[in-house]
Structure 1
Amino acid sequence: MDNPIQIENYSIRPPETWAGSVDDQQLIERIKESDFSERQINEGRDYCYFLDKIYYTSNIENSEYVCMAYTLNEPSNLERASVMDVVVEENEMYGIHRISVLREGVLIDKIPDTRIKVLDNENQSGGGILSSTKKINITIKDLRLYDVLILEDSRVKTFTERDFLRKEFSRYVWVSPDNYWAYGNYKFTFINDRNEPIAYKKTFFRDEMGNVLEPETNYLKKGKKFIIEEKNYINPVDANREIFPFIDFATSSNWKDLSNYIAPIYEEIYGNASLKDFAPNLVEKLDAIADQDEKLQFAIEYVQNNIYYIFNADEMNGHRPQEPSVTYQNKQGDCKAKSVLLKVILDYIGIDSSIVLVNFNTDFYIKYYLPSLLTFNHAIVKVSYKGEIYFIDATIRDEFGLIENRGFIYFMHYLEVKSDQELKERKAYRFPYYCIDEKVEFHARGTTGDLKLTTTYKGNRANAMRRYFRNTNKREIVDSWNNFLFYGLNYSNDRNGTDIRNIFKDASIDIISDDKKLNEFRIQYHAAVENPYYTDPKNNRFLMYFDRNVVKASARDFIHEDLPFWHNFDSEKYEVHLYTDQKIDTEEKYTVQESTISNPYFNYTSRKKITKNGATVYIDYKPLVNLEIPRNDFEAFREAHHMIADSNFGLGIDIIEPGLMNMLKFSLKKKFNK
């Protein structure tokens, strides 16, 4: 039986010997009021009298012990304490050592008032996320406001054969505590009981002036401890602008040795795989495709769309992939399984590829972490084709295009599953195509306007829009475009509160074409517009089109002391034509204003063409992406985006009202505004 059922997932027992012991009297003595505690409580802050946390690792198990006492002075905190959930992995035991409250100086044992249920933690299996974790639900009766709750517990993860990587390597990241809590005493201990030395690296710690200190790396031999202890402690980190200090603990190693450890495991899998033997029908289909570009596209999309993605949390804890024959036969597998099958197919059609290990969630931190295979949580495929490098995520579905037209995956760090590898950084990327290419035509005649948008999406944008149009009601899509245009045409400033459907009459949106090789998705929006002009409080009329998506607010508003700005904007091209049957001001400053921005991270131009009854703007935006903007370059980068926002992200034309008095008013306005 591959997955024997574990009957017991928790027990009430004393703590392990390495955790030490504390009796009731010692607990009471540690829960003492002080000037610091009274100040925190008076300020309405929850207060933790003490928190002792110990992480213990050996070649047999990983364990974590916690003993803490904290106030229940807030109703929300009382509710959370009364009902708690603890999730344990397969072969992990949760141990309850003490549940007590200190009430008016008397220590009361609450274990008799505690009800424990063990529940299956399977709420996403329908989405292919499998886990044998259990949820331990703990309900404590009769907790009262102003009690001091004392919890002492631990969790022990005993390794099985499936945890071969955890047996061989240890990794744990300590992060400084949430700065909401105030602590009378905070203590963290890491105990290494492994045969191998553990390295630990302190990162984003600060000096008394708040300056980030250089990372510091040290080592723990078997039987040694690392201890952090603070008294009367509130974490001083500015959570909105600073990274919490953390310590990375990992079995001492280097990337080259780690790659040499993992590569033979995968090489054995490749060596045993014969696509002709286990997938003759697939081979027949591949052989029938003469064009190599199309054959590569077919291979990628076959694995992405025909092999069901199962995220098995237990399997992901190791790195031993499923045999590709099993993946093909069962038509399902996790990221490793799908990536290995894709590589075997690419080997058959003569395209160079390799598996690479990544962690999209913590990509920024990988350069600060110690070398460890346990850093990674995902596998993708690196493809070398026609002199270019591409990365394919075999777990994505509904992605299309020849390889140069497929969606781009944003990440920087990866470890290639080959011998003698170092951690690598991807090069920055410039799109060979426009992700958005849009033409806007707006004709105003009398009291109505005719508005047409023709938009071509490519790459990630095409894949996303294809899914959006397939999964979304047509009326909802039209309303979404109407809402965008309500702001883009500046109607939000002169008719706010008006039903948008009464402004954009007979609005429709249609798919014009969908090219699955070029990965181009083209749509067209069309509507008649009631009262096409924006009218200001002085009854001046304007015809406007400003696309606020062009203004990158995230770049303009970004503020962080430690995180660099991650540059991941799409390439964009816009052509906006505004026509009217009225006379316009052909010399108005913002109407004729053009811009040219050129810096290391993007090129941006807006060019105008003005006639007596209309104007056109051509906007071209080409970013260099998949990189961090260095701190020294960021303010110039931000200022360039401010320049775009200064009326360079669209077009506006001023109407010269007919009549002698209006012409005189216009002439005077021009004269005095020079």
Structure 2
Amino acid sequence: MENPIQIENYKIQKPEIWATHVDDQQLIEKIKESDFSKKQMSEGRDYCYFLDKIYYTSNKENNEYVCMAYTLNEPSNLERASVMDVVVEENEVYHIHRISVLREGVLIDKIPDTKIKVLDSENQSSGGILSSNKKINITIKDLRLYDVLILEDSRIKAFTDRDFLRKEFSKYVWVSPDNYWAYGNFKFTFVNDREEPVTYKKTFFRDGQGNVLEPEVNYLKKGERFVIEEEDYINPVDASREIFPFIDFATESNWTDLSNYIAPMYEEIYSKTSLQEYAPNLVQKLDAITDQDEKLQFAIEYVQNNIYYIFNADEMNGHKPQEPAVTYENKQGDCKAKSVLLKVILDYIGINASVVLVNFHTDFYIKYYLPSLLTFNHVIVKIDYKGEEYFIDATIRDEFGLIENRGATYFMHYLEVKRDQELKERKAFRFPYYCIDEKVDFNAQNTTGKLKLSTTYRGNRANAMRRYFKNTNKREIVDSWNNFLFYSLNYSNDRNGTDVRNIFKDASIDIVSDDKKLNEFKIQYTATIENPYYTDQQKNRFLMYFDRNVVKASARDFMHKDLPFWHNFDSEKYEINLYTDQKIDAEEKYTVQESTINNPYFDFTSRKKVSKNGATVYIDYKPLVNLEIPQNDFETFRTAHHTVADSNFGLGIDIIEPGLMNRLKFSFKKKFK
């Protein structure tokens, strides 16, 4: 062993008394070939001889034990086994019980060949959460192809006084194993050693025909175990179209009791000190703003941009909210601290607001989970203003606008931090503005085309574009627009492989205006194009502009048996003008084609104006967002998007070439079309 000095993040010792105890001879006997194992390995599948996993919970600690033996028959698998990373939370210790290999029938202890390093691990996870942990790097020397690797370890999380929620409540979600592996024996055990009963709920299990069974709910008293075990097992789930079966374990409770448990902690914090006492300068600035809309905008952006966001994810469920006076004084805090400060400021200016618990990452599953405060990993603020509900994430930076013009945050489930609350669902909504409002002018004269795009972005789009233009090189931005237009004008089909900079001459893009109250970001793109027409293989010429962003490919291609389609597209409006000095076919089917779609989830119209030398299309798309499309409605919803994709997402005009023969050819084509 190269590092015999033990440190607090890991230990090498025997497992706990409640865990499995297997001696060397028993291990060798469990690693036996069978017809099932031979079949899996002959098909090139990695094989796990056994996996024994135990999750133990008490009011003092959580402990996750694993003992497993699996093949190293693939070079990639050998590489992953040779160097492993284990990330542990604060106060969590990684226990190594056994690292061995079975090589040609001989069991070899590999702990002497193991090097362990403890590194800082700091990763940015989804939802704006900074997770600061320790990474234990494990390197095992001299692993060989066709070895059987045996690992036995535990992860122990001992609760401190700060972990008051974990002391009071248990939460663990077991998910059925990856279907890449074949298992000779698979066993999972949940041990409840808490004083309180633990409820477990089995969800998305299936019958022999693959139909989802109704959820099954049962209970474990102190000292009781839940066991699930399979022999010669491959998880049959269709990973691309089905949700893996899972079991949710949680301390028995309900949402009302949970809200009554946590609400007093926040109430105590709200009333500690008045805003006037610890933030007189801020109060003075608020009082100087006479318009209530502007005062609300100032309050939100003050907390978002002036209070630095620091957050150890382990502490989300580990301590009470920081006092707003401390947050203001230190100018930093986690999501709870920033949200509490924002609520206190909003209380001062007379705007009704509450702190709410969310989990953006697992939002879909919350309705299937058992009630638990440990389900949530993020805190935001709900604001009731002028008859509307708004949700503000106080941890986000560089977002602007009066509250009705701000960007949208998408999620469905939340628990309001008030007394006597149930889990709530956020309402679906329509945007009060167009997220994209664009006008395209393309004029072709002789052999030259003049192209101009004038675009207004609002809401999330404005915030994103503002950041993009701030942080991106101008040449890169222009190239991005050129590449988009290369496809929109259909040049990808008649001059593919040509450098776009040689097609779009003198291309430029400029910010026209940036209104941070309306949250409108306006830009203009211009370019000159030699040979502006798309020419097909029969030498027919066309002016075309089809914006593929209008076509929602994710809706058209969606295939899942269990997940409903989550609807959160932006509202969009386009005016596309194509004009030429040539005569056009003013009656061509797709040139004059219009569409009207009205369904419960979006309204879409395309309207045309056609003249002898050009045409205009007006496209208007208004979705109802922040909702799941019920499966019974989805095929109708998908068909509507197919209609949009059927040449209703832009405009094309056919050029009638000059000359008697060309006109005769055109008349003949029209007659026999």
TM-score by length of 2: 0.98
Other-structure match for 1:551: 551
Other-structure match for 1:615: 615
Distance of aligned partners of 1:132 and 1:587 in 2 relative to their CA distance in 1, 3 Å threshold: closer
Distance of aligned partners of 1:280 and 1:293 in 2 relative to their CA distance in 1, 3 Å threshold: same
Other-structure match for 1:202: 202
TM alignment of 1:1-150, pairs within 5 A: 7-122=7-122, 133-150=133-150
Deviation of the 1:139 alpha carbon:
1.5
Distance of aligned partners of 1:36 and 1:128 in 2 relative to their CA distance in 1, 3 Å threshold: closer
- The amino acid across from 2:503 in the alignment is I
Note if contact 1:510-1:524 (Cα within 8 Å) is conserved in structure 2.
yes
Other-structure match for 2:3: none
- The amino acid across from 2:277 in the alignment is D
Which region of structure 1 is more displaced relative to structure 2, 438-447 or 316-325? Answer: 316-325
Q: Secondary structure at the match of 1:19?
A: coil
In the alignment, the residues of structure 1 paired with residue 650 and residue 624 of structure 2 have an alpha-carbon distance, to the nearest angstrom, of 22
Note if contact 1:303-1:338 (Cα within 8 Å) is conserved in structure 2.
yes
Deviation of the 1:84 alpha carbon:
1.3
Answer yes or no: is 1:651 the counterpart of 2:651: yes
Q: How large is the Cα RMSD of the aligned pairs?
A: 1.3
In the alignment, the residues of structure 1 paired with residue 277 and residue 397 of structure 2 have an alpha-carbon distance, to the nearest angstrom, of 27
TM alignment of 1:23-422, pairs within 5 A: 23-122=23-122, 133-318=133-318, 320-422=320-422
Summarize deviations over 1:80-130 as a string: whole Å, max 9, x none: 1111111222221211111111111111111122222222224669x9976
Q: Secondary structure at the match of 2:18?
A: helix
- The amino acid across from 2:622 in the alignment is K
Summarize deviations over 1:162-194 as a string: whole Å, max 9, x none: 100000000000000000000000000000000
- The amino acid across from 1:300 in the alignment is I
Summarize deviations over 1:11-42 as a string: whole Å, max 9, x none: 11111000031111111111110000000111
In the alignment, the residues of structure 1 paired with residue 571 and residue 137 of structure 2 have an alpha-carbon distance, to the nearest angstrom, of 49
In the alignment, the residues of structure 2 paired with residue 90 and residue 193 of structure 1 have an alpha-carbon distance, to the nearest angstrom, of 22
In the alignment, the residues of structure 2 paired with residue 573 and residue 139 of structure 1 have an alpha-carbon distance, to the nearest angstrom, of 56
Deviation of the 1:219 alpha carbon:
0.5
Summarize deviations over 1:206-234 as a string: whole Å, max 9, x none: 00000000111110000000000000000
In the alignment, the residues of structure 1 paired with residue 611 and residue 253 of structure 2 have an alpha-carbon distance, to the nearest angstrom, of 69
Note if contact 2:123-2:132 (Cα within 8 Å) is conserved in structure 1.
no
- The amino acid across from 1:139 in the alignment is T
In the alignment, the residues of structure 2 paired with residue 496 and residue 130 of structure 1 have an alpha-carbon distance, to the nearest angstrom, of 44
- The amino acid across from 1:100 in the alignment is S
Other-structure match for 1:662: 662
In the alignment, the residues of structure 1 paired with residue 128 and residue 192 of structure 2 have an alpha-carbon distance, to the nearest angstrom, of 36
In the alignment, the residues of structure 2 paired with residue 424 and residue 117 of structure 1 have an alpha-carbon distance, to the nearest angstrom, of 45
Other-structure match for 1:575: 575
Q: Secondary structure at the match of 1:295?
A: helix
- The amino acid across from 1:465 in the alignment is M
Note if contact 1:13-1:96 (Cα within 8 Å) is conserved in structure 2.
yes
Deviation of the 1:273 alpha carbon:
2.9
Note if contact 2:163-2:319 (Cα within 8 Å) is conserved in structure 1.
no
Q: Secondary structure at the match of 1:222?
A: coil
Distance of aligned partners of 1:495 and 1:260 in 2 relative to their CA distance in 1, 3 Å threshold: same
Other-structure match for 1:458: 458
In the alignment, the residues of structure 2 paired with residue 41 and residue 314 of structure 1 have an alpha-carbon distance, to the nearest angstrom, of 40
Other-structure match for 1:523: 523
Q: Secondary structure at the match of 1:244?
A: coil
Distance of aligned partners of 1:357 and 1:124 in 2 relative to their CA distance in 1, 3 Å threshold: closer
In the comparison of the two structures, how many residue pairs are matched? Answer: 667
Deviation of the 1:314 alpha carbon:
2.9
In the alignment, the residues of structure 1 paired with residue 146 and residue 457 of structure 2 have an alpha-carbon distance, to the nearest angstrom, of 59
In the alignment, the residues of structure 2 paired with residue 323 and residue 315 of structure 1 have an alpha-carbon distance, to the nearest angstrom, of 15
In the alignment, the residues of structure 1 paired with residue 271 and residue 599 of structure 2 have an alpha-carbon distance, to the nearest angstrom, of 48
In the alignment, the residues of structure 2 paired with residue 48 and residue 217 of structure 1 have an alpha-carbon distance, to the nearest angstrom, of 30
Q: Secondary structure at the match of 2:222?
A: coil
- The amino acid across from 2:13 in the alignment is R
In the alignment, the residues of structure 1 paired with residue 90 and residue 571 of structure 2 have an alpha-carbon distance, to the nearest angstrom, of 46
Other-structure match for 1:604: 604
Note if contact 1:128-1:309 (Cα within 8 Å) is conserved in structure 2.
no
- The amino acid across from 2:300 in the alignment is I
- The amino acid across from 2:369 in the alignment is Y
In the alignment, the residues of structure 2 paired with residue 651 and residue 123 of structure 1 have an alpha-carbon distance, to the nearest angstrom, of 46
Which region of structure 1 is more displaced relative to structure 2, 132-141 or 61-70? Answer: 132-141
Note if contact 1:573-1:620 (Cα within 8 Å) is conserved in structure 2.
yes
- The amino acid across from 1:464 in the alignment is A
Note if contact 1:128-1:310 (Cα within 8 Å) is conserved in structure 2.
no
Deviation of the 1:241 alpha carbon:
0.5
In the alignment, the residues of structure 1 paired with residue 632 and residue 147 of structure 2 have an alpha-carbon distance, to the nearest angstrom, of 51
Which region of structure 1 is more displaced relative to structure 2, 17-26 or 252-261? Answer: 17-26
In the alignment, the residues of structure 2 paired with residue 362 and residue 469 of structure 1 have an alpha-carbon distance, to the nearest angstrom, of 32
Deviation of the 1:318 alpha carbon:
2.4
Distance of aligned partners of 1:258 and 1:129 in 2 relative to their CA distance in 1, 3 Å threshold: closer
Note if contact 1:603-1:623 (Cα within 8 Å) is conserved in structure 2.
yes
Distance of aligned partners of 1:638 and 1:130 in 2 relative to their CA distance in 1, 3 Å threshold: closer
In the alignment, the residues of structure 2 paired with residue 330 and residue 91 of structure 1 have an alpha-carbon distance, to the nearest angstrom, of 26
Note if contact 1:61-1:159 (Cα within 8 Å) is conserved in structure 2.
yes
Distance of aligned partners of 1:147 and 1:90 in 2 relative to their CA distance in 1, 3 Å threshold: same
Other-structure match for 2:477: 477
Deviation of the 1:46 alpha carbon:
0.7
Deviation of the 1:611 alpha carbon:
0.5
Summarize deviations over 1:261-312 as a string: whole Å, max 9, x none: 0000000000113110000000000000000000000000000011111122
Distance of aligned partners of 1:186 and 1:579 in 2 relative to their CA distance in 1, 3 Å threshold: same
In the alignment, the residues of structure 1 paired with residue 371 and residue 321 of structure 2 have an alpha-carbon distance, to the nearest angstrom, of 21
Summarize deviations over 1:388-438 as a string: whole Å, max 9, x none: 110000011100000000001000000000000000001111011110010
Note if contact 2:70-2:150 (Cα within 8 Å) is conserved in structure 1.
yes
Answer yes or no: is 1:536 the counterpart of 2:536: yes
Give unpaired runs (5+ residues) of structure 1.
1-5
Which region of structure 1 is more displaced relative to structure 2, 88-97 or 34-43? Answer: 88-97
- The amino acid across from 2:97 in the alignment is H
- The amino acid across from 1:345 in the alignment is I
TM-score by length of 1: 0.98
Other-structure match for 1:3: none
In the alignment, the residues of structure 1 paired with residue 591 and residue 580 of structure 2 have an alpha-carbon distance, to the nearest angstrom, of 14
